[in-house]
Homo-oligomer: A and B are copies of this chain.
Amino acid sequence: MRQDVHNSSIPVLCASCEARHKGICGALEPDQLVALAKTSYKQKADGGSELIGDAERVESYSNVLSGVVKLTKTLSDGRQQIVGLQFAPDFLGRPFRSESGINAEAATEVGLCSFPKGAIERMMKASPELEHRLYQQTLRELDEAREWMVTLGRKTASEKIASFLLMIARHIDPTADPDRTSATFDLPLSRADIADFLGLTIETVSRQLTKLRADNVIRIENNRHVVVPDMERLELRAGN
C-alpha cells in the first residue's frame, strides 16, 4: 500500500503528513501527490479566526493537520449552532458547491494544508479512490451528525455535557486505547462554544460541569484541563 522503502518520490511537504496516512491523500499515487503538492501550501490559523464564510465563494479545500475546527450555522438574529467539529486529518470543504452554507472557524490554533478547489476536483475525476475516501469521510460525518441530533433533540442538559466530554475524550486523548478506564485531555472549546454545540447557554454548561465535578465524575484544572478517572461512570451519565 504505502511505499516507505523508496519514497524519495514523495514530496517533502507530504513526507510526514498525517493526511497521507489516515487522510484522503493516502488515496493518491506518488506522481499525483507530487502534482497536488505543487499547488498546495501549509498554514497556521489562530484560534477564533474564520476559515470559511457562509456565503463567501470557496476557492480552496484543506486538510486539518492539527487543532480543531468548528463548523457553525447562524440564524439571522444571531443564535448560533455548531454543526460539526473537525479533527486531524479531516478534510475541510463542501465539494460540488460554490458556497458551503456553513461557517468554519478555528476553535484552537489550527494547522491546515490547503489546495485550490479546482485541483482537488480534477484529481477526483481522475482518481475514483480519492472520491471514495471523501465519500467515506462524508458518511462518517453524517453518522456523527445524526448521533448529535439525538443528543440535541432528546437528551437533558447533563446528558448533553457528559456526551460531549465522552466525544472529546474519544477524539483527543493521545493515549488512544478505546477501552481505557480513565482519560485526560484539554477541552478544545470554550464554555460558549460548548453551549453552541449542545444547544444550551454558557450558564447551564457551567452548572452541569460543576455538578459533574461535585459528583467526582470529573476533575477540572485551569478551566480547560479535564481528568476523567472512570470513563464508565461518565458513560452512565450520557444516557445512551
Contacts and interface: CB of A to CB of B under 8 A. Distances in A.
Interface residues of A, number: 41
Interface in A136-163: 136, 138-139, 141-143, 145-150, 152-155
A135 B142 contact: no
A73 B150 contact: yes
A182 to B, nearest CB: 24
Contacts of A131: 128, 131-132, 135
Given A96-B139, A135-B134, A146 B73 contact: yes
Q: Which of A71, A95, A149, A240 has the most CB of B within 10 A?
A: A149
Interface stretch (A13-21, A80-88, A184-192): A80-88
Nearest to A195: B153
Interface in A58-79: 71, 73, 75-77, 79
A35 B188 CA distance: 50
B95 A139 contact: yes
B138 A80 contact: no
Contacts of A117: none
A106 interface: no
Given A75-B240, A76-B240, A131-B128, A81 B145 contact: no
Interface of A: 71, 73, 75-77, 79-81, 83-84, 94-97, 101-102, 128, 131-132, 134-136, 138-139, 141-143, 145-150, 152-155, 198-199, 239-240
Contacts of A149: 73, 81, 83, 145, 148-149, 152
Contact of A142 (B81, B141, B148): B141
A154 B199 contact: yes
A146 B71 contact: yes
Given A79-B155, A81-B154, A152-B152, 10 more contacts: A71-B146, A75-B154, A76-B239, A84-B146, A94-B139, A96-B139, A142-B142, A148-B149, A149-B152, A152-B153
Given A71-B146, A146-B73, A81 B153 contact: yes
A84 B150 CA distance: 11
A168 to B, nearest CB: 18
